[in-house]
Structure 1
């Protein structure tokens, strides 16, 4: 395939398969004359000439904006027509499995598009309406979200990752590179050199130690560094260490950064050029995953046609009092709770990681004393009472590493498997081009 065709494939993708912000380019939003003529019958649907012309206009506009070449007109039309046929087949598939997006979701995407164009939501909508493409843009957004959801669901089910593949990935150089944590480190150095007398070096070390103490007392790194520079007692310098893996740091720090907790300070670290101070400002990635977990049980009552909101609150208050008076929590949960996932277990949710429960419940159990029955609280599910049976920090690093490896391998296989699936549905479809 020549370079023009390669460019075309990317532009087709940009105009129609997932890069929603491409719709925001002015060249793609000009007036269009809609021509209602069937040009293809695709299974139980049809493709209109207006759809082809709209997509071609988008592609030409995007190519012009980026100063990119396009192939000959007949090649361009054939390639775009084929892409639209495959899209249509996917949309029919999505309809059969009931993938839909409501207007609120579409509006959130349009808000993001507006921000990318330095406009308010209302300004952006007004611009689309002025160009007479507001409805078309909404539907194009809805289509792209639908295609993304369909592809993600279908393709991920087709991809299998074996335990051996995960082990091989984790033990490979590529795996270690992908999984390695990155660190954002604040740094300063009280400059010294070999010509300094022993007493000067010691004075500089003490000065650096004082800076460390201030940081450990909670002062901001930037504040301490600026004050040290402005004091003009000794030369203090800094180096930018933004988002590096441990092995990318100078040898002096590479073995240290991975041992630091967030905001922890290390120093003074002596070196030939002075006394260094580092602070871990942030960390991302990596496989270390120590998670706070809470052992919870609860009872949930949901308002319904028979029991309104006030009656439901009264009923949960009554259950709380019965537990306090000595009745068994688990028995009352089995007899009364509307939470199908925990009712058989007597309301026991087992160990739940932070972030794994509704925000309202999270807030309540965070401050609830052990083996104490909470006051009633409301979530989207209904009225609850809860009891905390235990708390722990659980090392889920191994499990987390395997999940991350699975995701990395799945992402590597996704594009190929997507193309295989698209080829299959195209081969199985009835398509008739209408002259």
Structure 2
């Protein structure tokens, strides 16, 4: 089981968005010569100019630390793989009818500005200084929103957290100090159905990387940048802070016994072989001032009943979603069209609630949104739902709120594992033909 980083859309650093400058083909088709192709991805292409721009942005992020970067050919491979995965996710979102409205985009731009302590005008000036047009920035941000919505849609019906799992996690939390662990990893990937020779080659590589780290010839972060096949390689393999509920059980017990700086592995998982480092820890007495997240949101419900079958309810929900994307007021539509009599008179307002107040699936949808963002239509036991998150807040945890928070973190970890598996399958099934510097095929196409 492979650990992977989690991200919040509005917490994306400017550097990360600048990397995405290569991710939007349409932006470059009109401004750069279509002279060479870096890769063919199914029926789409990634231009060499896009790849060069994305690599240049990574090098700018590592200004003064260039020695930490891998050789140029390895760096290009890592960056190109990111662009391929972005293309595949955007294509899947398009096929599923997932889009980002102008309203979504404006809220996201405002959120990025606030996260970086700027006004929108200051953000625009900063982006210009960094050599990117504001149009390109918005296009990249739109892609990020779409992939976030794709992830929300993916979660529907796939993730279930049992009461027994929550009980076990609550018991563990009550019996110990609440700890958090900052982790990093290095992944040497293997394909699905890898041969014995491929497994042996990958294992030899990961053991060689560990040898460099153990001998002090290279830091863990530098080795991740140079050798890891994980999407977060260029961030030094950083996985961020995790509670025990957010760490796969296979690792959790071992990590609790480790000291900061220690490395475990190689560990073989579904994605390949990995090394895992405990970077640092922090702790807090269980129940001592812990906070949980509550949300405020509005909903529109289209019931599935004797007069409206599932297909008709879904179609109506999609029509309402299109009207909202076109600028219609959510509260007004809820008052006119929602089948939930308890909330329609309040414009669909649900008030403040915890992540599991209305069920795990509903809570995960709301948690995945940004404040002010509207979900795509999703299915519940009552019918098809649109939800608009209006606000969020941190409150002191009571037992019910803490239980909801525990359920949310377990669900987030499960979603992470399923999402990683799904993206690996999508990549493996894709037709990806990487080209050489002259635009000619450099290696056989992979996938379907």
- TM-score bucket (shorter structure): 0.3 to 0.5
Using the size of structure 1 for normalisation, the TM-score is 0.44
Larger radius of gyration: 1
**Bigger RCO of structures 1 and 2 (CA < 8 A, at least 6 apart):** 2
**Normalization by structure 2: what TM-score?**
0.43
